[in-house]
Structure 1
Amino acid sequence: MAKENVTQNELPIVVIGAGLGGLGAACQLALSGEKVLLLEKHNVPGGFATSFVRGRFEFEGALHVLAEVGTEEHPLSLYDFFKDLGVFNKIDFKKPMDLCRSIFYDGLDITFPNGRETYFEKLIELFPNDKKGINKFKEIVFKVREGFNYVAAKEGKATPLGILLKHPYLARVGGLTLSDVFDRCFKDQKLRAVASQLWGYEGLPPSRVNAMYYILVLIALLDDAVFPVGRSHALSSVIVESFEKMGGIIKYNALVNRILVKEGKVSGVELLNGEQYPCKAVISNVNPICTTMKMLPRETVSDSYKKRVYAPDIGTSLFTVYLGLNKTPKDLGVTHFEVFLNSTYNLEEQYLTSLRIERPKYLLASCYNIMYEDISPPGTNQVVLTALQDGKSWSTVPPYQYHHKKDEMANKMISMAEELLYPNLRKYIETAEAATPLTYYHYSKSLNGAIYGYKQDILDSPMMRLNSKGPIPGLYFAGAWVNLGGGYSTSITSGRMAASMYLEENEKGGV
């Protein structure tokens, strides 16, 4: 391979990082006829979209379901992109039977069906006295979705004025917390807890999360969410294969140390081993903090941009327990894929507990075999327990206490699952592995092990979040930290938005 011999004319643009944001950017560029070099520090692509093997089990790294794909009859924002890449020719997708199941400590046990209309019908069935408010919330959700479709279709070219004129609900909701929206719709306090069961997917409770993020996640999961056969690693691999077939070059074990600058513009990148690749533009899937403060010469970044990068708080991480069980789901009485376990209706208390290293009060138990029967060997099944955890808490744990704290936390999560969902779960454990925020940092280098980038709060709505435009000409950002926020589909879309911005500016001669 002549990857070390590329010239600026051959490969005018470099993408740093083969996470989903980087893959989205690289493929969008390749589809447009651009020659692209994709540099990845790890030995496999995908970032969080990966899997790992323990014993006879191959575990999904992080994906629960993938939104924004849709079907040929009902295509969503990623459908045509995946079709152009040939994804559907190589991967099948499974669809969960239900949105989720929620269990509360007092015995309340609810299964939410898939589908927009049936979800809200279920809420009305449970809380008939709030029917009017539920229908009002439904209207808000649908209006926000319409606005998101408009922004996604613009591929990074939507203007604030255009959004305000065509879809004012985006601006209205973007300035509210989810609790603010609930105040306008719901009276029953228990309904608030039930209607916000997906708050873990944004990393903040209703009192803190930007309402737009929650609504977008809710409607996206109701609209034909799927899971790739072969796990998310298979999806990443197929995307890379398509990228290479289009002439793109990917180099692994290639940690970019510096972005080179000449006359105030991007001129290339330098790897940790000293290799240099000249280019006129870079799309970085590395978080903006590290990109601007570690990879660029500091004097090239304005003070105002530094403040913009540092101002938002870094979001949450996870503690995850991966369990390979020597019984089938049927043997264990497991009937649902995603089950949220709640030891309180107070979601603020659930969140505050996640800031400390202690037994969670909000836990997601996922049995992938319910949706994807062959994901584990015959006669077995996989259960994954996930709790939000603040990365900063784990960064202060002394090394000699780390493994003890890790085992202790895993045991507490297993106990909670046994009490509320799976009696005697630990009796059937054949293989177990746990991941802390430090684990997520180690493999992704995402600050604090953050899974969604910046906190998705009221000050950092999709309307206010950093966009793809970097602090100097020729530099762009992709991934969860910019544009639409955290998540698999939004990270891919973020990369495509960065690519579209580059292509537009390049066409105008601005790069």
Structure 2
Amino acid sequence: MNIDQVGNEFDIIFIGSGMGSLTTASLLAQSAGKKVLVLEKHFQPGGFTHEFQRKQGKYHWDVGIHYVGDMHEGGLCKKISDKITRGQLTWKRMPDPFERLVFPTRNFDIYGDPEKFKSDLISQFPEEEEAIERYLKDIRKISVLFGKAIMMRLSPPPLDSLIGILGEGNVVTLKDYFDRNFKSEDLKGILAAQWGDYGLPPSKVAFAMHATLVQHYINGGYYPVGGAGKIFDSIEPILEENGGAVLSSVEAKEILIKDGKVVGVKAKALRGEGHERDFFAPVVISCAGAYPTYTKLIPDSYPISFRKDLKDFYNRERMTTSICLYLGLSESPAKFGFKGENYWIFASPDHDKNFSERNDWLSESDEIPNLYLSFPSLKNPEAKSHTMDVITFTDYSNFAEWKDEPWKKRGEDYKEFKEKIISRILSTLELRFPGLTKLVEFAELSTPITNEHFTSHPDGAIYGLACVPERYKKEKCPWFDVRTPVEGLYLTGADAASPGIAGAMMGGLAAALAVTGNANLLRELRN
């Protein structure tokens, strides 16, 4: 469907078609009968839930879903997923261990069983048993607290709410908590190993963010049967029932405001002649992220009291970015013992050191300090070919010189730089798993400027704005609130809750509750 095939008037307009928008749109279409319009800049809707193909459709990869937690029966994420897809989406539990942590001097496997997780930690670190038990209790309490806060439409939850849970003292970052409670650096390295899911090392990330992430995966990881694209496929028909529509290759250029109230969105077609068109609705919900919403989509002429503070926060807390190597394999990686679990490979248990060295490997011959391996074809029982993803971290600045060049036409220097990166990643894999690279039939590298091109996320970051402690102080960071100072304008997605598909889903729930205050919806999800 193109920009000229729909009318002008809607109940709600969504900017972006990621997990936050899909969640909010489906909930409001079902519970309130809303006619929604979803505007997506990418030619493939779904945000980071979409898939892409290569080699005439032989190979399929997800771009953002590598695993999701809390999808067991009774889990809140499972309840939300069932609600927004009307039960049309099935989640397959990953094999145990679902995470394998690889360090220079020891390995650790994580199983989707809280008691086994605890006993395995205590088995390797018996002298820290009391601290381990306290840690697991603390992350559970904080996760429950933050879940309740979102249910009460307090997004993000206030950091002050942690007072009394962690005792006296200034426990703000994950490093603060570790330094107060643990002695072993190896144990700290194991407990913080999933930092790639929120993109910050222990010295920077809020302990609350870490706690909710660990608790999210405490019962294992799950993957959508049929692939990540099934999420959008199952939701789009629900949106269309009330006359709603999803437009891809259409970029939101400006949020239209009159007398302090939202009235619509100015959009531009990115295909054809590229003409602009205004769409109108009394409610607009942005999944573009807080920074683009307040600094680009809301006109500069409209006063936002915290706009400068937001820019300062962004410049002070610039997010690391990632590169992803998508591999098509001639044979199943199962021949090397992989069963579909994720691998986190580190040069050191000191994740602040790993983080600080995230760019060194580009110019030196040292080992890449962080590698994440994912096997989409082993997680998806309907996969018809063999695929693998390899992710590592770097900074946007390494690619910025090509940011204004057109996609797929960025010149030989860019192509050669990407080939160098591919070669370095493959050589690292071969050292770890001899013979694996012989299976590689196809390789394609995605960089931060690719992410920026399709999503408009600043620096091509995939996490939203940084989950540093300051984020949870509402008086300092009001831009993370699902409600905005503009009447009728709301945020959804990661910046309305937390990073990741599940975090964006929770942001979607928070936005739906803020728009309607529907108590019946809460009761349905709690039951």
Question: TM-score, normalising length from structure 1?
Answer: 0.88
Deviation at 1:17, TM superposition (A): 1.2
- 1:294 corresponds in structure 2 to 296
The 5 A counterparts of 1:23-422 are 23-33=22-32, 34-55=34-55, 56-71=58-73, 75-106=74-105, 108-156=106-154, 160=158, 164=161, 168-169=164-165, 176-272=172-268, 273-308=275-310, 310-312=312-314, 313-335=317-339, 337-356=341-360, 358=362, 360-377=368-385, 381-396=386-401, 400-420=412-432, 422=433
- AA aligned opposite 1:114: G
- 1:470 corresponds in structure 2 to 484
Cα distance in 2, alignment partners of residues 64 and 471 from structure 1: 35
Cα distance in 2, alignment partners of residues 383 and 249 from structure 1: 33
- 2:524 corresponds in structure 1 to none
- AA aligned opposite 1:407: E
- 1:443 corresponds in structure 2 to 454
- AA aligned opposite 1:433: E
Displaced runs of 4+ in structure 1, greater than 4 A?
155-161, 170-175, 397-400, 462-465
Distance 1:406 1:396, change over 3 A: same
- 2:444 corresponds in structure 1 to 433
- 1:508 corresponds in structure 2 to none
Distance 1:369 1:296, change over 3 A: closer
Cα distance in 2, alignment partners of residues 13 and 172 from structure 1: 45
Cα distance in 1, alignment partners of residues 167 and 280 from structure 2: 41
Where do 5+ consecutive residues of structure 1 fail to align? 506-511
Question: TM-score, normalising length from structure 2?
Answer: 0.86
- 1:499 corresponds in structure 2 to 512
State the Cα deviation string for residues 345-373 of structure 1 (Å, max 9, x = none).
33222101224562520111122344335
Q: Is the 8 A contact 1:12 1:281 kept in 2?
A: yes
Cα distance in 2, alignment partners of residues 449 and 297 from structure 1: 22
- AA aligned opposite 1:497: A
Q: Is the 8 A contact 1:174 1:212 kept in 2?
A: no
Cα distance in 2, alignment partners of residues 123 and 286 from structure 1: 39
Distance 1:364 1:159, change over 3 A: closer
State the Cα deviation string for residues 180-219 of structure 1 (Å, max 9, x = none).
1111221111111122111111111112111111111111
Cα distance in 2, alignment partners of residues 336 and 172 from structure 1: 42
Deviation at 1:131, TM superposition (A): 0.9
Distance 1:26 1:111, change over 3 A: same
| Identity value in percent | 24
State the Cα deviation string for residues 232-276 of structure 1 (Å, max 9, x = none).
111122122222235433223322211111112211211122211
Cα distance in 2, alignment partners of residues 461 and 140 from structure 1: 18
- AA aligned opposite 1:267: V
State the Cα deviation string for residues 452-485 of structure 1 (Å, max 9, x = none).
01122222248657111223212111122x2322
- AA aligned opposite 2:249: N
**May I ask how many residue pairs the two structures share in their alignment?**
491
Cα distance in 1, alignment partners of residues 175 and 308 from structure 2: 31
State the Cα deviation string for residues 136-189 of structure 1 (Å, max 9, x = none).
11121111122123124334489859x839x85389899611111111221111
Deviation at 1:102, TM superposition (A): 1.4
Q: More displaced, 119-128 or 271-280?
A: 271-280
